[in-house]
Amino acid sequence: MGYEVTMFVVQHRAGHESCEDGWCNILGMLDLSKLGDGKVSNIISKYHEALKNTPKSKRPFWYDDYGKKEFKITEDKYGDGLPLIPIQEFLDALKDDNAQYRIDEGQTYRRYDAAIALLESFFSNKWEHEIGRGWIHVIPYGH
């Protein structure tokens, strides 16, 4: 993947009566910078490909920073949709890539260290309800 990616951690309660279809509540974000080859890039590609079969009206989105409904964010800066990646799957890919980075470079990648810490924080008891229902996801946003 040759462009920069920001990792958004979102709450997406699909089918919940209080939520508009596709709406995501942003819980956290971290700039991962440019991603090299590896499991993180592969998983992003896999979910981007799967998203192509989802009708645009059902795809994930969020509103701009001020919550104005006329400013709906439905794709990244490259025109790619916003795929929902299960938090555990993305976390596992980050850990695997970071372990490989340690082997190749002699140290872990500092942005992945921060991303892993952020994602692991959602596995506390305070988020148990949302994690258990599959409501917490990662959205990679290319910029």
Q: According to the model, what pLDDT value does residue 141 have?
A: 97
Query: What is the number of structural domains in the chain?
Result: 1
- Cα 44 to the chain's mean position, in Å? 9
Burial 6-45 (b: 16+ CB within 10 A, else e): bbbbbbbbbeeeeeeebbbeeeeebebeebeebbbbebbe
Look up residue 133 and give its amino acid: R
pLDDT by residue for the chain (143 residues), tens only, comes to 467 999 999 999 776 665 567 889 899 999 999 988 899 999 999 999 999 988 888 889 998 877 666 788 999 999 999 999 999 999 999 999 999 999 899 999 999 999 999 999 999 878 888 888 889 999 999 99
- pLDDT given for residue 49 in this prediction: 95
What is the pTM for the complete model shown?
0.90
Q: Which domain holds residue 37?
A: 4-142
Please tell me the predicted confidence (pLDDT) of residue 1.
Answer: 44
